[in-house]
Amino acid sequence: MIRSMTGYGMAEGHAGGLRIQVELKSVNNRYAEANVRLPREWLLWEDGVRRTVLAAVKRGRVDAFVTCEFDGTSARTVQVDWALAEGYMAAAKQLRARFSLPGPDKLTLQDLIKLPDLVTLSDSRDSAADETVQETLIDLTAQAVRRLIAVREAEGANLAQDVLSRLGAMERMLEEIRQSADAVSEELRIKLRQRIRDLLGETAADSPLADNRIAMEVALLAERADISEELQRLASHLQQTAKLLEADEPIGRKLDFYIQEMNREVNTIGSKSNRSDIVNAVVDMKAELEKMREQAQNIE
């Protein structure tokens, strides 16, 4: 299925007393690239998140944002270092007695709270809990990737439909050019005979010698203006491009290549032809190809 390179996916879950959220945003890029933003303490898991993303995304830049917050069941606890508290209290008494300082003998609660390392936060989670968080993070990343891919596929279906409609328009133009090209030789013959009539008169234009000369000139001009090979190659490229849209793999680069090849054939047809209807069809084809090129830039 065709995928766009732009999309969004998000997943959220809980583990180790944390609410974890993974957001993925993808945009166009020539190659596959994943930029991961994690909380500082989770940087060691960055590679796992990146590999999970790139396992599914073959082209485009994906920005992964991971955030976490405590969900009310935190394993963190407040601890008081009682031995240190007693030491602070004893030190306060000694300082007051030694230097005859005024004031109470005991420190107040506000004084104690401000003392360094007296009240600390501890995390009772063990390594098993960290493994659970890591597994949850990777699982949530995989969920977000699946939702991202679903969005990219939905948009890709619209892009494929647009490209198919433009291929159909080009096929109709191709048939019009083919019909016009079939009449080129006869038109050249008529124009040459009329030119001879204008220069030499009616009798000279209808003579056997004139017929032979006209036939030679028509053959030469028709060979120079022959676009049958270009039309055949263009028809083949159109068929191959339509078939490419059915592929279950990234096709962005291949599609861009076929568009370049079709553009080359269309340019050659335009340079060889001087019929106004063919020239007009060539202009319309180039407009369709340019729109297809813009769409190809969005396809994975």
Does 165 share its domain with 289?
yes
Does 105 share its domain with 170?
no
Residue 143 lies in a domain: yes
Which of 176-190, 213-227, 243-257 shows the lowest per-residue confidence on average (mean pLDDT)?
Answer: 213-227
Does 162 share its domain with 211?
yes
Residue 1 lies in a domain: no
The domain that contains 32 carries what CATH number?
A: 3.30.230
CA distances from 274 to 88, 181, 183, 288 (A): 100, 10, 12, 21
Chain-centroid distance of CA 74 in Å reads: 39
Does 40 share its domain with 161?
no
How many domains are contained in the chain?
3
Q: Provide mean pLDDT across the span 178-202.
A: 61
Residue 183 lies in a domain: yes
Confidence category of residue 238, pLDDT binned at 50, 70, 90: very high
DSSP conformational letter for 297: T
Average pLDDT, the chain: 83
Q: Report whether 66 contacts 38 (CB < 8 A).
A: yes
Does 175 share its domain with 143?
no
At 204, give phi and psi (nearest 5°).
Answer: -65, -35
Does 262 share its domain with 163?
yes
**pTM flag (> 0.75):** no
Structural domain range at position 18: 7-73+126-152
Q: Provide mean pLDDT across the span 241-247.
A: 92
Does 282 share its domain with 179?
yes
CA distances from 280 to 71, 223, 241, 265, 277 (A): 66, 22, 23, 15, 5
Q: Highest mean pLDDT range out of 113-117, 159-163, 244-248?
A: 159-163
- In 3D space, the residue among 116, 111, 137 whose CA is nearest the CA of residue 23 turns out to be 137
**127 has a pLDDT exceeding 50:** no
Does 213 share its domain with 104?
no
pLDDT one-digit tens code per residue, 66-105: 998 877 655 567 788 888 888 888 888 888 888 887 776 6
Does 58 share its domain with 41?
yes
Long-range Cβ contacts of 184-187 (<8 Å, 24+ apart): 184/222, 184/225, 184/273, 184/275, 185/218, 185/222, 187/275
Q: How many residues does the chain have?
A: 300
Does 86 share its domain with 106?
yes
**Whole-number CA gyration radius for the chain:** 38
Does 224 share its domain with 255?
yes
- Collect all residues with Cβ–Cβ distance below 8 Å to 23 and sequence separation of at least 6: 8, 9, 10, 64, 65, 66, 67, 144
pLDDT one-digit tens code per residue, 268-298: 988 887 778 888 999 999 999 999 999 999 9
Residue 202 lies in a domain: yes
Can you tell me the distance from the alpha carbon of 116 to that of 236, in angstroms, rounded to the nearest whole number? Answer: 79
Does 60 share its domain with 137?
yes
